[in-house]
Chains A and B, each alone.
Chain A
């Protein structure tokens, strides 16, 4: 009779199973990208939001903060900072602008990035747009 546990069967299960689940994953991803427009409100992505994302990346904000829970855990969540700051872009801009160059003695400090008015407006628009994404009610509360 045949061997009870063969290498060729194990190999076929590896190839077949991986391919099968990868295709399922690709299919689901395609479905997801089709449903996304209703959840991310991409119609609201204007030039300022695009600029804001670039500013966000060029200053490596993700190195301290989380955005929708992803990033570093050193500084507060920013996915909902727009609502936490009372739906105010001005408050966000004011906070970023007013960071002291040499930090706050003894405390975790955010660097002074010397952003231009346009860049500040961009980052605020970007965070406003992010706060409007449908994230299945995450975070649990306003504190992020």
Chain B
């Protein structure tokens, strides 16, 4: 660790991992509810479990992104963080807001929560992924502003690199597009169109800048390849990501009431969206192949390569599978979407945060560069367990989706939704089994932090 203040990232990462565990537990609950319909009913209805699952994901990824920025920005800027105290204060505020929100979801019916948090004054709740009370949303904005101020001031007083600039642009974009979550018109169609300005422009827009900058940072550190080369690749990758991704928003506008020309625009531009992910895979493997040093943290390199591959598979390939309008006409709103969502989020965003944690945590815990060999071995086991489990989850959901489309959307006598769900149960059981495997992988990951042993050292 080059600067003391980088250590503020540590609580952020710990919170991220703890909330990640919570997310997966609720994922398992939902998976079980898919096959045992009345499991935990009416205490935790499916919609509550899902809200907890998705919102925990968002909160812990935001913890991960902020932690990554707090670690990365001082090192890139070659100066201490502007205010470590502010970073710690914001950590507690954000954690309190997040945990209270989740408790609110679980403790009272959603309508009651909406009522007591003043949703009647400024209704923003009850929309997918943006279920948190308006007051939590305000809290997120305040935390984001404080965070941006902190890293912005740090960059201003220090060295300005492409990596830190892109990281800041990504974080600013994240905050700016989140503001659309406060726009909730009475017209559902307008609501939907601008809802995607948060959701799509996050995950297929500004988040990719954050992902790119973290990946570039870790690759510079672990491979020793010239910064100049890494940074120009980074620019090209994110250029392609935004050039294809911004108009790619059109693939969400096919069937929600928007004019039909979006079918053309959305199909063409999102057909190109795999390109930046493919470039990212090429980039990661090329840099590792051209490495000028052997970094002792093998686990971090594995995560970095893994995220590039899995993001390409999940976001690129599985996205492309159902993005063309004539295909999407049948797949829209089925388990195919769920399959894509799971692998894309895991590959692109879960794994990039775990890459950063894997790289930085050993140093924040007082090691020179890496954990012990034994610890890394356990961590790599967790990588494979989680990644293979996610591949299976995706394949089973894809199978469920194909059958669902075939039975419910095609042919002369399409069947009722609930009937079809009964008939494809086997896939949901298999998915749940893969989910258990994922959870075991996650526990293995947590265990890797407690494996002791002599630190792996630098050579060459």
Contact = CB atoms under 8 A, between A and B. Distances in A.
Given A17-B239, A63-B46, A144-B408, 18 more contacts: A6-B232, A10-B233, A10-B239, A21-B246, A36-B187, A45-B186, A57-B114, A62-B47, A67-B188, A70-B256, A74-B33, A74-B50, A103-B38, A103-B42, A111-B41, A135-B255, A139-B332, A140-B410
Interface in B328-350: 329-330, 332-335, 337-338
A107 B184 CA distance: 34
Interface residues of B, number: 76
B409 interface: yes
Given A29-B193, A70-B128, A71-B333, A64 B238 contact: no
Given A62-B126, A73-B334, A108-B37, A10 B256 contact: no
A32 B193 contact: yes
Interface in B210-250: 228, 231-233, 235-236, 238-239, 242-243, 246-247, 249
B186 A50 contact: yes
B415 interface: yes
Interface in A85-144: 101-109, 111-113, 126, 129-130, 133-136, 138-144
A72 B232 CA distance: 40
B36 interface: yes
Interface of B: 30, 33-34, 36-38, 41-42, 45-48, 50-51, 110-111, 114-115, 119, 123, 125-128, 131, 162, 184, 186-193, 228, 231-233, 235-236, 238-239, 242-243, 246-247, 249, 253-260, 262-263, 265, 329-330, 332-335, 337-338, 408-410, 414-418, 421
Interface in A29-79: 29, 31-33, 35-36, 39-40, 42, 45, 49-50, 53-54, 56-64, 66-77
Nearest to A104: B38
A111 B127 CA distance: 18
A58 B114 contact: yes
Contact of A136 (B42, B114, B186, B263): B263
Given A45-B187, A74-B46, A63 B38 contact: no
A58 B110 contact: yes
26 contacts: A6-B232, A10-B236, A13-B235, A24-B246, A25-B247, A28-B265, A39-B257, A57-B127, A58-B119, A59-B110, A61-B126, A62-B126, A63-B128, A68-B257, A70-B192, A71-B128, A103-B38, A104-B37, A108-B33, A108-B421, A129-B188, A130-B188, A139-B333, A143-B408, A143-B409, A143-B414
For the residues of B in contact with A, the DSSP-based class is: helix
Contacts of B190: 33, 36, 40
